[in-house]
Amino acid sequence: MKIIIAGGGKVGYSVAATLSAEGHDITVIDREPEVIDRISNSLDVICMLGSATNPETLREAGAAQADLLLAAMRQDEVNMICGITARKLGTANVAARIRDPEYLHQTAFLQEALGLSLIMNPEYECAREISRILRFPSASRVDTFSRGSVEIVEYRVPEGSRLHGMSLRELPHVSGARVLVVIVERGGEALIPNGDFVLQSGDSLSLSGANHELRKFFEAIGQYRRPVKNLLIMGGGRIAVYLTRMMEESGIKVTVVERDEERCERLCDLIPHASVVCGDGTSSDLLAEEGLARADAFAALTGDDGDNIITSMYARRCRVPKIITKVNRERFADMLESAGLESIVSPKELVAQHLTRYIRALDGSRGGSMETLHRLADGKAEALEFKVSEKSRLVGIELKNLRLRKNVLIGAVIRGGKSLIPNGATTLQPGDHAVIVTAAGRLTGLDQILEGEK
């Protein structure tokens, strides 16, 4: 597909890197020469210096023939103008990054009024991801499918765990829970295991199942953590505002520490029921005074990766049960996990993931439409949700009789709003939702999980 990205900042760069790797024809427009130089020197994409709100620039970039334009510049209103201009020039689909909380409840209106195909809010999506983790703190990450009917959670097997040396075939008898290990990350490799696979300490597991079954599993292995009741947030940006509102709906007490006085005054209006503290969140004295050691969870959400990492490590030293760290540089992820910080979030990665799902759906699907896409095991594998169509080649055939591609697994089936952990006798029916886990590369359609399908 031909895709234009307007804005080469953090989000624009991340999306360009992801979509270029998927084989799309990418053009990036930015008005800053240093940004264009950085992208052209590191990515195999076309770069243009200029204003993406200028019709002539968009024409030169090929907007009339483009399948998609992503407007990802700093200002929401500029992205809206860019999107309107691209649509007028003939761009088939337009996605815009719109981040201001004031626009959150106007998404449907804006899409219709401005002719936008998709509106993305990185900070809101990041807050949603953190919210899911805080509601299930036993896991380092939680991905949901079919409106929460099925979840895939990530969990690292600690030293001394009773899971060490246990085969996956034994798990149901030990836990009594209907869950399925769909991915094991070991030694930097993502593996789709079978029943004979033996777990080891240090393995990172991705498990699928309904929420109550996953809870039962963690209770059985002695790793269940009680729900969060008291959250301390460092950094009062948009993510903190969205997250605080979500947490307050669940009855969770939130304290936000922000160093900028003017921003603190604004936060008192935006989140009036939260406790807003004006001060330096990197100060151990201030964190102690605000009850870090008594908090159920700590989220480091400033715009500075270094501050977020340092305070998260301090929170771990203070034995805070759940710690969430926002970082923008992907290369930090492995280092932080080895240091014991496992719940890492990145707004730009969430946007790239969301846009990837949207583009694959535009590509067309065989056997069922793509509903959801999540990357697992640090991007080495994917979990995709498809709605099964009556034309799918999988319909009515027992799974044990299907010839699936190597490194592909059907992780869950949702039927009538209820989740099923599939076995060999399970069959897919039209209208079902199937969660497919793959380490075999890019899938755009459900039938592609069959051997020989392209």
pTM of the model: 0.88
Residues 20 and 106 in one domain: yes
Domain boundary among 64, 97, 120: 120
Residues 364 and 402 in one domain: yes
The DSSP string of 13-63 is: HHHHHHHHHTT-EEEEEES-HHHHHHHHHHSSSEEEES-TTSHHHHHHHTT
Range of the domain at 377: 350-449
pLDDT tens-place string over residues 38-89 = 999 999 999 999 999 999 999 999 999 999 999 999 999 999 999 999 999 9
CATH of residue 88's domain is: 3.40.50.720
pLDDT tens-place string over residues 86-144 = 999 999 999 999 998 888 888 889 999 999 999 999 999 999 999 999 999 999 999 99
How far is residue 95's CA from residue 83's CA, in Å, rounded to a whole number? 7
- Mean pLDDT for all residues in the chain: 92
- Looking at the structure of the chain, the number of domains it has is 3
Residues 302 and 366 in one domain: no
Residue 440 has pLDDT above 80, yes or no: no
Residues 366 and 262 in one domain: no
Q: Classify residue 383: in a domain, yes or no.
A: yes
Residues 91 and 27 in one domain: yes
Residues 270 and 358 in one domain: no
Q: Classify residue 41: in a domain, yes or no.
A: yes
Residues 395 and 292 in one domain: no
Domain boundary among 274, 301, 320: 320
Please report the pLDDT score of residue 259 as a whole number.
Answer: 95
* 69 in Cβ contact with 99 (< 8 Å): no
Domain boundary among 56, 91, 120: 120
